[in-house]
Amino acid sequence: MTFKVQRIEDLKKIDVSKLVSESEEEGYRFLTRLVHDYEDGSNTFNKDGEALYGVWEGPEKLVAIGGLNQNSHTDNKDEARLLRFYTLGDARRQGVGSQLLSELVNHAKGKFKKITCRTESAKADAFYRANGFEEAHEAPDTTHVMNLA
């Protein structure tokens, strides 16, 4: 299968319903929050350095999504926060998540000195560590960090 990573300029023009429903079935509500926050304007990934990306299989099937925000858990504007990162189950273990993460990291370089994220999933922990993040224990809202500087 061929996957294509692209920046999402307007989430309202993208069908994310399959990702939202599958993530909710798995007990995750962060994609529901992504849609809600985008619609109400509280997070549209439009501040300096921020971005939202998706991965498509073919021209129409969105199989993964993830974004970068300025880290709201700190006043340090050199820190990005990886948010709303999700890959459909049938697209996992095919390099999709790694492609998406690589694109987000490349986007962050030159704009931020570090990327942080939080997960409670053992699978996500293994994924982030395999893709260059280190475990972090200095803040309750952060489990992983990648230094870019």
Angle of helix 17-25 relative to helix 30-40, nearest 10 degrees, comes to: 140
Alpha-carbon dihedral angle through residues 108, 61, 36, 139, given to the nearest 10 degrees: -40
- Helix (H) and strand (E) counts in the chain: 4, 7
What's the CATH fold of domain 3-105? Answer: Aminopeptidase (3.40.630)
Q: In this prediction, what percent of the chain has a pLDDT beyond 90?
A: 60
Q: In this prediction, what percent of the chain has a pLDDT beyond 70?
A: 99
Angstrom CA distances, 16 to 11, 30, 35, 62, 149, stand at 8, 12, 8, 7, 33
* pTM, entire model: 0.91
Average pLDDT of span 51-76: 90
Residue ranges per structural domain of the chain: 3-105
**Strand 134-135 with 79-87, pairing:** unpaired
At 6-58, the pLDDT tens digits run 999 999 999 999 999 999 998 889 999 999 999 999 999 999 999 999 999 98
Looking at residue 36, its pLDDT comes to 95
At 110-128, the pLDDT tens digits run 999 999 889 888 888 888 8
